[in-house]
């Protein structure tokens, strides 16, 4: 099976590349700028059609949540028109598309884990673009899996875990918001789930799914866990001070509650992400070995 993933440097792309290596019968390739530029429809269609994969994973996106508030046109071009072009290209070659989306499509005022059919109501520009992107993907290719995940971290790229470890090198105390709740998700676990879905995808299974790390937390407790693991392995750590969202300066207003219920993906595809604390341990240890030259 030939899987084509959009983007080259992203956390999910790099995790997929790593996890697909050991899978017999799976050939995974990644394609990004300049050959495939989501803001240039022709480049998207041409590069996907000529690669002729069996499945397309649409993982590239505009992900800068605060910056999107200042440049909504760019974010919409990439996350709506770009995502739609990826799905359309897949449809042209008869391939299904697995499209990544986010917990930020929800308003976040419901503390219960969101199920797939729950009403969306994004409060940020990023969330609005991803929400409209979902609709565009569904319209462009009936054979779609829209996979919403959340709070993604990994040994690759920019993410909260790496940011916390970097900040702790120069600071003893770090204020972190404690009133936003969600499910941290390791991109490595997510990659395993995506590969399992890609291999078992059949008629009757298309639609929207949630796939996020097991267990929930808030950003402050997430940071505390990162530092507890790091400290055990001789890495940087800091005291975490709880702050309220209202006290933390940010352009985009994140949802207070964006827990996702991943039961449907577990029932239909048998995917079961690990607990966020277990996976955080794996990722922190890799980051310490890679970036901080200790632990490992
Ligand atoms: N990160 C998170 O916390 C979450 C992410 N998601 C979703 O999961 C998916 C993957 O996220 P993640 O891997 O973390 O993203 P990253 O921010 O790590 O990477 C984004 C990727 O998109 C590519 N990209 C951005 N703009 C373009 C463009 N115009 N043309 C082609 N490629 C482009 C980047 O390419 P380049 O390397 O060239 O910049 C990069 O490869 C996205 O759809 C995101 O919305 C969902 C929930 C949480
Ligand atoms: C760096 C930092 C962040 N924070 C807060 C800001 C924010 O509310 C929260 C997380 O910060 P981030 O910048 O990682 O958050 P953010 O970029 O909003 O993360 C989101 O990214 C997009 C792509 C998604 O799809 C979401 O699922 C989610 O993962 O922590 C602190 O309180 N203190 C800090 O020192
Ligand atoms: Mg961010």
pLDDT digits (tens, 9 = 90+) for 119-141: 999 999 999 999 999 999 999 99
The answer, yes or no, to whether any atom of ligand 1 lies below 6 A from the CB of 157, is yes
Q: Phi/psi zone of residue 180: left (φ > 0), alpha (ψ -120 to 50 degrees), beta?
A: beta
> Which residues is 56 bridged to in the sheet?
4, 97
pLDDT confidence tier of residue 292, bands split at 50, 70 and 90? confident
Query: Does 126 participate in catalysis according to the annotation?
Result: yes
The pLDDT value given to residue 294: 74
CA 295 to chain centre: 26
Residue 109 lies in a domain: yes
Structural domain boundaries enclosing 142 = 2-159+184-214+258-274
pLDDT one-digit tens code per residue, 70-100: 999 999 999 999 999 999 999 999 999 999 9
CB 269 within 8 Å of CB 205: yes
Residue 24 lies in a domain: yes
- The CA–CA distances, whole Å, from 48 to 85, 139, 215, 220, 248 equal 10, 18, 36, 41, 42
pLDDT one-digit tens code per residue, 238-269: 999 999 999 999 999 999 999 999 999 999 99
- Residue 63 CA to residue 2 CA, distance in Å, equals 26
- How confident is the prediction for the chain on average, in pLDDT? 97
CB 93 within 8 Å of CB 140: no
Asked whether the whole model's pTM tops 0.95, one would answer yes
Residue 208 lies in a domain: yes
pLDDT confidence tier of residue 295, bands split at 50, 70 and 90? low
Q: Does the CA dihedral 103-107-109-114 come out positive or negative? A: negative
- Residue 290 CA to residue 296 CA, distance in Å, equals 8
CATH of the domain at 54: 3.40.50.720
Residue 231 lies in a domain: no
Share of the chain above pLDDT 90, in %: 97
Residue 286 lies in a domain: no
Residue 37 lies in a domain: yes
Please count the structural domains in the chain: 1
CB 199 within 8 Å of CB 1: yes
The pLDDT value given to residue 125: 98
- Nearest protein CA to atom 19 of ligand 1, as residue: 10
The question of ipTM being above 0.90 is answered as yes
Which residue among 62, 114, 126, 209 is the active-site one? 126
The answer, yes or no, to whether any atom of ligand 1 lies below 6 A from the CB of 79, is no
Residue 288 lies in a domain: no
The answer, yes or no, to whether any atom of ligand 1 lies below 6 A from the CB of 62, is yes
* Residues in CB range of 250: below 8 A, 6 or more apart: 66
pLDDT one-digit tens code per residue, 144-166: 999 999 999 999 999 999 999 99
Can you tell me which atom of ligand 2 is nearest the CA of 175?
33
Distance from Cα 130 to the centre of ligand 3, integer Å? 15
Residue 282 lies in a domain: no
| Ligand 1, pocket-test mutation among 60, 122, 161, 258, most atoms within 8 A of CB | 60
Vertex 44, ends 42 and 45: CA angle to 5°? 65
Q: Does the CA dihedral 132-275-173-156 come out positive or negative? A: negative
The answer, yes or no, to whether any atom of ligand 1 lies below 6 A from the CB of 150, is yes
């Amino acid at each position: 099976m030939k899987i084509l993933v959009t983007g080259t440097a992203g956390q999910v792309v790099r995790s997929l590349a790593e996890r697909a290596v050991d899978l017999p019968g799976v050939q995974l390739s990644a394609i990004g700028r300049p050959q495939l530029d989501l803001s240039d429809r022709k480049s998207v269609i041409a590069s996907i059609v000529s690669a002729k994969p069996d499945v397309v994973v649409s993982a590239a996106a505009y992900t800068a949540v605060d910056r999107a508030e200042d440049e909504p046109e760019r974010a919409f071009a990439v996350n709506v028109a770009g995502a739609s072009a990826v799905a359309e290209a897949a449809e042209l070659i008869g391939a299904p598309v697995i499209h990544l989306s986010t917990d930020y499509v929800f308003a976040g005022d419901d503390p219960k884990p969101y199920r797939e059919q729950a009403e969306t109501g994004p409060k940020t520009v990023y969330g609005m673009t991803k929400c409209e992107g979902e609709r565009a993907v569904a319209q462009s290719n009936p054979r779609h899996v829209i996979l919403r995940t959340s709070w993604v971290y990994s040994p690759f790229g920019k993410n909260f875990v790496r940011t916390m470890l970097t900040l702790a090198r120069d600071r003893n105390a770090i204020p972190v918001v404690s009133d936003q709740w969600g499910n941290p998700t390791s991109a490595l676990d997510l990659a395993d789930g995506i590969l399992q879905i890609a291999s078992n995808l059949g008629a009757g299974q298309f639609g929207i799914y949630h796939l996020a790390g097991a267990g929930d937390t808030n950003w402050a407790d997430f940071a505390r866990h990162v530092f507890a693991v790091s400290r055990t392995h001789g890495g940087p750590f800091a005291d975490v001070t709880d702050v309220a969202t209202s006290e933390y300066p940010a352009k985009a207003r994140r949802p207070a509650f964006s827990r996702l219920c991943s039961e449907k993906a577990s029932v239909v595809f048998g995917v079961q992400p690990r607990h966020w604390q277990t996976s955080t341990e794996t990722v922190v240890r890799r980051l310490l070995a890679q970036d901080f030259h200790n632990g490992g």
